[in-house]
Copies of this chain bind each other. A is one copy, B any other.
Amino acid sequence: MDDFEKAVYSVRFLSADAVEKAKSGHPGTPMALAGIAVDIFTRHLRYDPKEPGWPNRDRFVLSCGHASMLLYSMLHLAGYDLSLDELKNFRQWGSKTPGHPEHGLAPGVETTTGPLGQGVGNAVGFALAGKLAGARLNESGSSVIDYRVFALASDGDLMEGVASEASSIAGHLGLDNLIVVYDDNKITIDGSTNLAFSEDVGKRYEAYGWFVQHVDGLKPDEVRAALDKAVANKGKPSLIVAKTIIGIGLPTRAGTSKAHGMAATQPEIDGAKNAAGWTLEPFYVAPEARALFERRAAENRKVRDAWEKLVAGLPADRADAYKKLTTRFVPDNVFDELLAVAKGLKPDATRNLASTIEQKVAALVPSLVGGAADLNESTKTDVKDSASVKRGEFGGKNLHFGIREHGMAAINNGLALSGFFIPLGSSFLIFTDYCRPSIRLSALMEQQVLHVFTHDSVFLGEDGPTHQPIEQLASLRLIPNLDVVRPADAMECAAAWTHALTRRHGPTLIALSRQKVPALERAADFDPKVMFDGAYVLADAKDPEITIVATGSEVHVAVDAKKKLEAKGKRVRVVSAPCWEAFLRKPKDAQRAVLGKGAKIVTVEAGRTLGWSGALGGDGLHIGIDRFGASAPWEKIAEELGFTGDAVAARISAEL
């Protein structure tokens, strides 16, 4: 056995041993892919375990996150701060080695994977980020950013639509810094892939415009040759279809679904170790394996040193661009800048107001890139003075995702994780349903991703119930660590953008109206900062008996209702509540002060009342929409569904 083989067996058995100790997990795929992973890590991957955030490191993505022990084993051998004890603590409370890799726990875990297909999308995002950053930072052949992305994907990853969408985009853009190895093992949880998966994956990827190779994934020579070709290939992303045997070496379980999602059993592991002439000692790492990785570390240190010199020698303008991009610079006075834009705007749909403000954001924040899932004409999120990103032309800020919301959001997670960009994705609010798994992951990974969704209520009008969000605002507010902001006018749009840009450890979703909304009057002494409280008194009354809380395009309806009620002698406060999450983070006392002690609460929002109200009752009158929408001009819908100042005032008079 040479050092390479010893490394491979070390990884295989580390993985199997850890799963066995946890009595749960996936041993078979790490065993099958160990050789490919060792080849990538020891012959190709540029990394520095002491500096996991090195901007130009190659990215390694384990899209088949259930094979997490493969990644943990590799990171341990590669010298990252992940001890053998952590490997022994696999899948336990408080460990750095959870069942699926979680970004932010073990260093070197580039992204959180497990929900299948997402890692492929993230890998496309990483690759795109490398191209975008390179176009901004490289000059005359220099290689400030020229990293490559290596991803391992399973059958499941490539069955998922999100991977199809992202792969089509990668082919379209010719992301030749992306290499995906597909573990073609013909086995899934339920048995043979023949049950449901007989397509020609390689041909499909050729159709996407990828460079496709087929190898025996258990023959090191074939794997090496294919990886070398893929790295050298220009103009296309690479797919290497690698035939493997799941649980290779296990005496009876190899090549069966029993090697997939459960501990292999000690006799099986011992049998495999005996057959390989390996020690039965659990968690054994061959010294030759460590030596192999140390040699790679020495090579990588040279690469890193050369790179550091390159960056240290950058001319001032490039150095500034580098610093701004790698810190995702946002100026301290961004709110003042955006407010100044907002103050010059006439009443309009909030999508248009936000769009104008975004132009300023793009000028202030070099890290902002993004686009729409083919609805830019409606979401208005393009940066007007910047180019579209195309194959070979990565200098622009505008991305075109096609009609692929899920791929968009998964790619944006990769763009954010790259460390260079604050990505923006946009579509209609209803289509958050199409990309919800990726939105959730942006929240779980605490990534600064901007989800900008327009047409945020039934008041989009004629497109009808298939396009009209009813439950989407409420359901998005349920995702932990996602802030949902629904601004009511230009000033709130400026606050929403500022909120999103300064919120560094989580995604923000901005919901915007299709329809025009009137200007809101504000008191002369209005302090704009109060908007960051999430809910604030917009229009007050002395000793209010009723407080109407509203969001977005319903705030002006609340203001109108207040007028109608005041004409009848009622004392009414209006609270604009653009962001629940910010409001609910305030102390209870502060919340109560805004809502008005003793005032009866009325909420007005064109969406589900559940969430505003509790399921089992509670105080307050909640005016919303608890049915599917309807196709008609929006003013007609507002009238029919009771979203006018008159109708709201009448309900309050009748029901409070």
Contacts and interface: CB of A to CB of B under 8 A. Distances in A.
Interface string A433-466: 1101100110010000000000000000111111
B616 A403 contact: no
Contacts of A201: 207
A481 B610 CA distance: 14
Contacts of A388: 195
A85 to B, nearest CB: 16
A402 B196 contact: yes
A640 interface: yes
A225 interface: no
Given A207-B204, A630-B98, A161 B160 contact: yes
A109 to B, nearest CB: 12
Query: Interface residues of A toward B: which range?
Result: 35 or more
Contact of A478 (B197, B608, B640): B608
Interface string A111-139: 01111100000000000000000000000
Which of A155, A198, A388, A620 has the most chain B CB atoms closer than 10 A to its own CB?
A198
Contacts of A622: 614
A444 to B, nearest CB: 5
Contacts of A355: none
Nearest to A603: B616
Interface in A603-642: 603, 608, 610-620, 622, 626-628, 630-633, 636-637, 640
B467 A478 contact: no
Identical subunits present: 2
A615 B626 contact: no
A638 to B, nearest CB: 11
A247 interface: no
B25 A462 contact: yes
Contacts of A518: none
A502 interface: no
Contacts of A611: 474, 478, 610-611, 614-615
Contacts of A375: 189-190
A102 interface: yes
A649 interface: no
Interface stretch (A164-172, A322-330, A332-340, A523-531): A164-172
A159 interface: yes
A18 to B, nearest CB: 12
Interface stretch (A29-37, A88-96, A293-301, A342-350): A88-96
Nearest to A378: B189
A361 to B, nearest CB: 21
18 contacts: A24-B462, A92-B632, A93-B630, A93-B631, A98-B465, A99-B463, A100-B631, A115-B466, A159-B168, A159-B374, A159-B403, A161-B404, A188-B374, A190-B376, A433-B436, A471-B475, A477-B610, A611-B614
Given A92-B636, A159-B403, A474-B478, 18 more contacts: A24-B461, A93-B636, A98-B631, A99-B463, A99-B467, A102-B631, A160-B434, A161-B163, A161-B407, A189-B377, A195-B374, A203-B206, A433-B436, A474-B475, A480-B628, A580-B615, A612-B615, A614-B622
